[in-house]
Amino acid sequence: MERGSATAADTRAETRTGTGEGMGEEPGSDANSQDTLDLRLPDEVIATFTEAVQGDEADGPAGRAGATANGAEAPSAVGARIPADRYGDSYGDRHGDAHADMHGAAHARTQRITQPMPADLAAFADDDLLDHIADWGPTSTPAGVFRLVPVRIQRDLPLISRWMNDPAVAAFWELDGPDTVTEAHLRPQIEGDGRSVPCLGVLDGAPMSYWEIYRADLDPVARYYPARPHDTGVHLLIGGVAHRGRGLGTALLRAVADLVLGHRPPCTRVIAEPDLRNVPSVAAFLNAGFRFSAEVDLPGKRAALMVRDRDPGDPR
């Protein structure tokens, strides 16, 4: 299994391609796709993806390694809405976290603050490897107002650890256990050089998903596909049971890909690597505008390399 996004080469398991062949340009490929593999899946697998895309439940809880089968049971506590008195203000301006009000500034960029930043956010302050995700601001989606909020250990560890202990999530992320297990996964990213940023996905003011936005071109996975400078990768975990199985993953994947491409002008592609066995996850990426590019063997899984290209008409 692939262990998260790389904060350094030794914090993530190395990947390998299955055949090592076919890395050249496909005949007839356009400028956006010429650097990636476009291998054909078996017809029966394509048919399965198509059925899932056409269904009502195209997403699941474990988007990094892929979603579980629809209808997987998980502890009810994982799906509970976070009480407002615990999280209601912590993502707004009142606590100086440089996060805009969710309802009053749907498309506004957050204002930088002058007071000292918490220690576990300091790694992001002077780094532009991912163009200051904390400043990307909220965006409107069909499901509500959504934003990415960089993780703070003290505030967010209990929630993320609870999600990781959901059996449906643990099967793919393998981070179940005490909070220290999740902390050991988060802290190297937070204290690293900024090439991987763990975030909470906050929908209408409530944290409901976990994301890792990472520089795929600086990750070991770049050794095994024709990476371009500034390729940006995404991992997704839908935390709450109530948010699963109703197409929400597709809507948020599209929104996050738009955020990446909108705030990172040098980036021409968004990359993802869901588990090929997890058809609902691959279907969610397809529905979100990603294309299947290749199969890649990762330790513990065979992944579908998914690519969302920048629109050729986008002037950035």
Backbone angles phi, psi at 39, to 5 degrees: -80, 145
pLDDT at 300: 72
| CA neighbor of 169 nearest in space, from 79, 270, 60 | 60
Residues contacting 61, CB < 8 A, separation 6+: 67, 68, 72, 74, 166, 168, 169, 237, 238, 239, 241, 244
Percentage of residues of the chain with pLDDT beyond 90: 45
H or E stretch including 161? Answer: helix 153-164
pLDDT bin (cut points 50, 70, 90) of residue 165 is very high
Domains of the chain, start order? 9-21+29-72+130-309 (3.40.630.30)
pLDDT at 56: 39
Mean pLDDT on 275-287: 89
pTM: 0.67
pLDDT bin (cut points 50, 70, 90) of residue 138 is very high
Q: Which residue type, as a one-letter code, is found at position 63?
A: G
Is 4 a residue whose pLDDT tops 80? no
pLDDT tens, residue by residue, 86-113: 444 456 433 333 333 333 333 222 232 2
pLDDT at 116: 42
Mean pLDDT on 29-55: 49
Is 6 a residue whose pLDDT tops 50? no
Are the beta carbons of 37 and 293 closer than 8 angstroms? yes
Spatial separation of the C-alpha atoms in residues 237 and 245, rounded to whole Å: 13
* Structure-token match 């269904």, residue found: 55
Tokens of 258: 């738009």
In three-state secondary structure terms, 187 is helix
Backbone angles phi, psi at 2, to 5 degrees: -80, 130
pLDDT bin (cut points 50, 70, 90) of residue 27 is very low
